[in-house]
Amino acid sequence: MSNSHVILAADAPVSKTVDDDAAWDRVRRRLRAELGDDVFSSWFGRLELLGLAGEMAHLTVPTRFLKSWIQSHYMDRLRSLVFEEFIGLSEIQVAVRSAAIKPVQKPHSAAGHDTTTRERAPSERMLSDAPTQPERVVTSETDSLGGAPLDRRLTFTNFLVGKSNQLAHAAAERVARHTQGETPLYNPLYVHAGVGLGKTHLLHAIAHETMAQGRRVIYLTADRFMYGFVAALKAQTALNFKERLRGIDLLVIDDVQFLQGKSIQQEFCHTLNALIDSGRQIVIAADRPPSDLESLDERVKSRLAGGLAVEMGPLDESLRVRIIEARIASARQHQPSFDVSPAVISYVAQAIISNGRDLDGAVNRLLAHSTLTGGALTVEAAETAIRDLVRAREPRKVKIEDIQKLVATHFNVSRADILSSRRSAGVVKPRQIAMYLAKVLTLRSLPEIGRRFGGRDHTTVLHAVRKIEGAVSADSGLRDDVELLKRMLQD
């Protein structure tokens, strides 16, 4: 990491043009595509381009925590994306923005909105998926504690129930309609499911319903818990911890798999205990069961598992059909001419098996197609419109352990060799292939893959991924090997 530019950059004026904004937008889009919506919005949603000075790009985030997280986990990737999209740059710097630093050319915030609200809104995933529609947002009540906004559309009424989610839905309704004053039945309620299967939707629904009964709700994402909520609690130093939490009837935390760090975990555990002991409800969502939350310590895991943990499975075809129909119905309110035949609906439901987010994407594409062409929406036209989504179909759940075992067997080494620090060629190559497969076949992050491969650094994993990507395109024998392994793991 070079710091020779720091002094120069401090003197040079920071400015940016419309082209710079466009380049920055491309960097963001590529990051989002690489990391997925959740990771992207957790760490990069609030990363802004302040401007360029000399050969340096100045980026800003609102908190020290985000800055150090990005620096320790994503700096290499960020740097190379910036250098690819901006010509002539040689360094980047991430700083914490203060009230004094204002990005040039920012649109004015609406009167009555302070800067924190303005910064927050676009970082929420659901808002950034679609053109911003402020009316979709309501803010949960105890906002002095750093709660995130809720999406108005994510209610129980709009949540469709099928085999895969009926248990989670029933538990969620029980929790939301629970009589005040009674001890909560399921506490915490822990919902886990893969990406796009409705966790956030269910959490927002519980929050809306509870707020409608006049109870005080705070909805947080894991990163917001880490820097906003804990800091807000600490700022109210006059009161003790329990008193500070007394204002909350329901605490909802989304994507808890992103909670990291020892002191944060202590706060988290402390909060869980204080709330549960005083009879307040906690609802949590994550992409895996409590026992698989590798970064959490045992006490926290067991407290999480102490309530009710329910899994939501993949959406079955009939549920997919109903979700598509519901999306079409709501699009028709704005565009009555949008007409989709049952054949097209059934085609989309069969083609998009991955998740609710892709179903939303598919309906948006159908809508765009029908608006732009005005023509009838045939199955062929639908196929073209959603082709990229079908191709991006999520690989089925593959375990890193299975990858390691299969690759070891295939290359005639042991799994221990793969996890070891041995550097002989006979071991390095299988290890790199296994890391590459872990990256492309699972949703695990690079740091996490590194941990699962004998505690390696994420840059080592990144290096392996790049290496194998390169090797596969040059060496057809290796390509066949890798394809075969992929197929064996996915069948």
Interface residues toward ligand ADP, by CB under 6 A: 154, 158-160, 165, 193, 195-201, 323, 356-357, 360
Segment near Mg ion (CB under 5 A), from 178-186, 195-203, 389-397, 443-451? 195-203
* Closer by beta carbon to ligand ADP, 97 or else 320: 320
Decide which of ligand ADP, Mg ion, none touches 323; Cβ closer than 5 to 8 Å per partner kind.
Answer: ligand ADP
Least distance CB 350 / Mg ion (angstroms)? 25
Tokens for 212? 């409608």
> Binds 381, which of Mg ion, ligand ADP, none (CB < 5 to 8 A, cut-off by type)?
none
Based on CB atoms, which residue is closest to ligand ADP, 249 or 360? 360
Least Cα distance to 189 among 304, 313, 314, 312 occurs for: 304
Angle between helices 458-474 and 425-441 (to 10 degrees): 100
Residues 6+ apart with CB under 8 A from 215: 180, 249, 250
Scanning 103-111, 193-201, 212-220, 288-296 for contacts with Mg ion by CB under 5 A, the matching segment is: 193-201
User: Which range binds Mg ion by CB under 5 A, 83-91, 196-204, 286-294, 298-306?
Assistant: 196-204
User: CB under 5 to 8 A by kind: which of ligand ADP, Mg ion, none does 89 bind?
Assistant: none
Nearer to ligand ADP, 28 or 320 (CB): 320
- 302 vs 415: CA distance, rounded Å: 29
Residue 159 touches which member of Mg ion, ligand ADP, none, C-beta under 5-8 Å by kind: ligand ADP
CB of 457 to Mg ion, least distance (A): 28
At closest approach, how far in Å is the CB of 284 from Mg ion? 12
For 396, other C-beta atoms within 10 Å of its C-beta total 13
Q: Would residue 118 be called left, alpha or beta, if left means φ above 0 and alpha means ψ between -120 and 50 degrees?
A: alpha
Q: Which does 151 bind (CB under 5 to 8 A by kind): Mg ion, ligand ADP, none?
A: none
Pick from 200, 370, 432, 445 the residue near Mg ion by CB under 5 A. Answer: 200
Shortest separation between residue 312's beta carbon and ligand ADP, angstroms: 7
Name the one range near Mg ion by CB under 5 A: 20-28, 197-205, 272-280, 433-441: 197-205
Instruction: Look at the block and give the residue holding tokens 């203060």.
Output: 98
**Residue 146 and residue 229 in contact, taking contact as beta carbons nearer than 8 Å:** yes
Longest Cα–Cα distance of the chain, Å, equals: 68
Q: Assess 187 for contact with Mg ion (CB under 5 A).
A: no
Per-residue contact flags (x/-) with Mg ion for residues 142 to 181, judged by CB under 5 A: ----------------------------------------
Minimal distance, residue 25 CB to Mg ion, in Å: 23
CA separation for the pair 458, 455 (Å, rounded): 9
Peptide bond into 188 cis (omega under 30): yes
Cβ distance to Mg ion smaller for residue 152 or 405: 152
User: Which amino acid is located at 468 in the chain?
Assistant: I
Q: Say how many C-beta atoms besides its own lie within 10 A of residue 188's C-beta.
A: 26
Choice between 329 and 416, CB closer to ligand ADP? 329
Name the packing angle between helices 342-351 and 356-373 (round to 10°).
Answer: 140
Query: Which of the choices Mg ion, ligand ADP, none does residue 195 contact, using the CB cut-off of 5 to 8 A by kind?
Result: ligand ADP
DSSP state of 15: B
In the complex, what is the shortest distance from the CB of residue 213 to ligand ADP, in angstroms, rounded to a whole number? 22
Beta bridge partners, 310, equal: 191
Nearest Cα residue to 25 out of 12, 38, 16? 16
Pinpoint the alpha helices (H) of 412-441. 415-419, 425-441
Residue 308 has φ and ψ, to the nearest 5°, of: -120, 125
Chain positions contacting Mg ion, by CB under 5 A: 199-200
